[in-house]
Every structure is written in C-alpha cells, then in structure tokens.
Amino acid sequence: MWSRSPPPSPPPPPPPATMLPVVASVLVCWVAPFLLMRLVERRERAALASTSAALRRQLCAAVRDIATRSLPGDRCLILSGGVDTCAILAAAEEVGVSFAAGITVLTGDDSPDKEFAVAAATAHGLAHHVVFVTASDLVQTYLPQCADSLHTFDGMTLRNSLVVAAAFRKARELGFKHAVVGDGADELFGGYSFMWGCGDDLPQWRRKRDAMCAEWTFATAALAEMHGLRADGPFLEPGFVRWALASTGRPECIGSRPIQLALGGPKVEHATGKVALREAFATVASWRRKDPIEVGSGITVIGHDPFWAELISDEEYRAEAAALASRGYVIKNKEHLANFRAFEAALGRDGARHPTRKRLPVGQGCAGCCFDVGSALFCDVCGAYPATRS
C-alpha cells in the first residue's frame, strides 16, 4: 500500500511591515559601508599593482641607460643589501645589464648589511667583495678627506660618507671606473620615517616630498671623483625622477606591511615607506627594515661619546664646546667636535675657504653654525635642523 507524503509546509509569512525599516537600516548602516570599503581596497590594490609595474619598467629603463656609459668590466655596484640596491640588481638582471662585482663595507660580522648583501650577490651570481674595516680605521683614514671634499662637519653626512668612501677606494683598487649606487629612492618614495606623516593630507605630503627632491644633494659624486670614479644612480636618472614625482604620492609610498630585521627572521607588521618599490621586485631585501648606511655597515657607533673616550676627554669636550659656543657654533657631542676639527683643518678657521657658503656674524645665519643657508630648513654645513632661528 502506497503511503501518502505529508502535505508541503506553507511558506513562511512575510516579515511584518514593521521589520522592513530595521532591515533597511542594517543594510545602509553596516552592509553597504563594508561593501564600499572592500571595493575601495580592491581599487587601491589594483592601483598600487599598476604603479609597481610601471616603476619596474622605469627602473629597468634607467639601469639600461646607465649601462651605456661604461663597459661591463669597468662597472661595479655598491651593494648594501637594502631594498634599493637589491632592486637595482634585479632590474639589471631583467634587462641583461651586468656588474663585474658588488662591493659591501662592514665594520664587523654582526653588521646588519652582511647577510642581506651576501644573499643578494649569491642569488645573482655576482662576484662579491666584502671590505671589513674597523670604525676607528674609517675615521682615521677617511674623515679628513671627507670633511674637506664635502665641506661639512655634519655627523650624519660624514658617518655615511666614510663607508661610501671606503667602498669607492676598494672599487678603484680593483680597477673599476664606474660605480652604481642606490641614492634617491628614499627621498622619492618616502623611505625615511619622518616622511610617514600627513596621512590625512595627501596633497601636503606630496608638496613636501617634491620640495625635498627639488633641493636634494648627495655626497656620492664628490666622493667618487675623489677616488677617480664616475658614480651614477638609476633612481637619480632625470626620466625616472620625472616619472616618480608625477606618478606617485603617499598611497603608493607609505603603508603598513610585514617588515623583517634579519634575513629569514620573523616579520612584524609595521609602517614603512617605498611600498611600490618593495612590491615591484621580489628580492631578498624587499621587506627588510630601512637601515641607513651607518646602521647597516655598523659605523653608527661613532655617533656615541663612548667611542671617542680615548681621543677626546670629557673635560676637553666641555671646554672646547664652550669656546666654540662663544664663536656661534653648537657642538652636539664628541663626534661633532672631531668633525669640526677636521672641517677647520681642511677649510681654515671658521671655514674661511668654504667654496659655496659664507659665514655670517654671530647671531645670524644658521642657528647651529652662522653660515648663510638662506631659508633652508637643513644646514648642510653643520647638520642643524631646523637651521632657521626662532
């Protein structure tokens, strides 16, 4: 006997009319904004991917242009193992440009640049010359000539320049004529932490970035000339600079990403710059923390007074800093005093032989040294920031 199926259940009654406004409110207040946010995120990711692809093409073109200025056997890369020089190495491989060697300067086995630079050179089959030199030897060998060539006693400039000078000296000893460097990427793409602000004022960020790049100067060319070399940087190529300024702003440069301190180490979500450049090339250093040359090489130790304990006593520092204050100089620490001594030894009392800057009477000019720097916020003579007087 066939059993009968139970009759179908009646459809649920429609929601009471009083529920419709509640449902509509939920959709408007919660669902719609969420969907809109996801749409905006997708568009931002697509825009960043497009910018990164364009950056990759532009950097490849800049590297190719630089390669026309020298023979492969005459050309080396100053390889810090950072985001910028590793991107240059990847771009060069992509367009068939070769370097005869990479050169890295370190003050010890624990210098942060070491593992990244070695890994990058190995990945690209690049002959790699690692120069180990103590911080003391860098100061003794290169400080006088760097202060003379760069006409400065600014600590940050000179710390970085000591390392670059050592790299250029090694390049000359190896017979190279052309050195390629990574200058310019930090300024163009927000590599410095002081550029990570203005999140709520994108036009202001761009104006500040563009103004900084309009006035930038780099010590590299003078240091290279000092060692009989030519130095070029693809990030400084005029065509690349024009593209970067026209095509990138804060959204393409600044973001939160997983950043690592050590090669193969854990990554920590952190604000960072140069996002478009980091995403343009997959290198061993794509998500490495930004370390300036002085940190990566290990020379940063000279910026601390204990390093100078045997060279400048506390009493000597206090007396000389006070005497210089009466002459209008603000001497920040023992390193600054050592730099000033080298500066005056090269350019005369009060930098009288400075080729481009004039010293004004005490109380005028730069707040840190009285040199005439116009309306510039940063003094390229003493390193004061802000250099303007209140």
pLDDT digits (tens, 9 = 90+) for 131-150: 999 999 999 999 999 999 99
H helix intervals, 124-201? 135-150, 155-173, 185-189
What Å distances lie between residue 354 and 16, 76, 92, 156, 244, CA to CA? 86, 32, 39, 19, 34
Q: Is 290 helix (H, G, I), strand (E, B) or coil?
A: coil
Q: Secondary structure of 201-261 in the HEC alphabet?
A: CHHHHHHHHHHHHHCCCCCHHHHHHHCCCEEECHHHCHHHHHHHHHHCCHHHHCEEEEEEC
CB atoms within 10 A of CB 37: 10
pLDDT of amino acid 4: 58
Query: What is the crossing angle of helices 155-173 and 135-150, to 10°?
Result: 100
pLDDT digits (tens, 9 = 90+) for 185-237: 999 999 999 999 999 999 999 999 999 999 898 999 999 999 999 999 999 99
pTM of the model: 0.87
pLDDT of amino acid 44: 74
Mean pLDDT of the chain: 92
Residue whose structure tokens are 């624990």: 110
In which band, very low, low, confident or very high, does the pLDDT at 15 lie, cut at 50, 70 and 90?
low
In which band, very low, low, confident or very high, does the pLDDT at 38 lie, cut at 50, 70 and 90?
low
What percentage of the chain has pLDDT greater than the value 70? 89
Nearest to 120 by CA among 163, 91, 161: 91
Chain-centroid distance, C-alpha 389: 28
pLDDT of amino acid 20: 65
pLDDT of amino acid 43: 76
Distance CA 324, CA 284 (A): 47
User: Does residue 340 or residue 16 have the better pLDDT?
Assistant: 340
Q: Is the dihedral of CA 367, 368, 370, 376 positive or negative?
A: negative
User: Does residue 35 or residue 105 have the better pLDDT?
Assistant: 105
pLDDT of amino acid 1: 43
pLDDT digits (tens, 9 = 90+) for 372-385: 999 888 899 999 99
Distance CA 143, CA 97 (A): 34
Average pLDDT over residues 85-95: 98
In which band, very low, low, confident or very high, does the pLDDT at 158 lie, cut at 50, 70 and 90?
very high
pLDDT of amino acid 376: 86
Q: Write out the two tokens for 260.
A: 């690592």
Rg (C-alpha) for the chain, rounded Å, is 28
pLDDT above 80 (res 14): no
pLDDT of amino acid 31: 64
What percentage of the chain has pLDDT greater than the value 90? 85
Distance CA 36, CA 83 (A): 34
pLDDT digits (tens, 9 = 90+) for 93-118: 999 999 999 999 999 999 999 999 99
Residue whose structure tokens are 């693809």: 234
In which band, very low, low, confident or very high, does the pLDDT at 2 lie, cut at 50, 70 and 90?
very low
pLDDT of amino acid 302: 97
pLDDT above 60 (res 164): yes
pLDDT of amino acid 308: 97
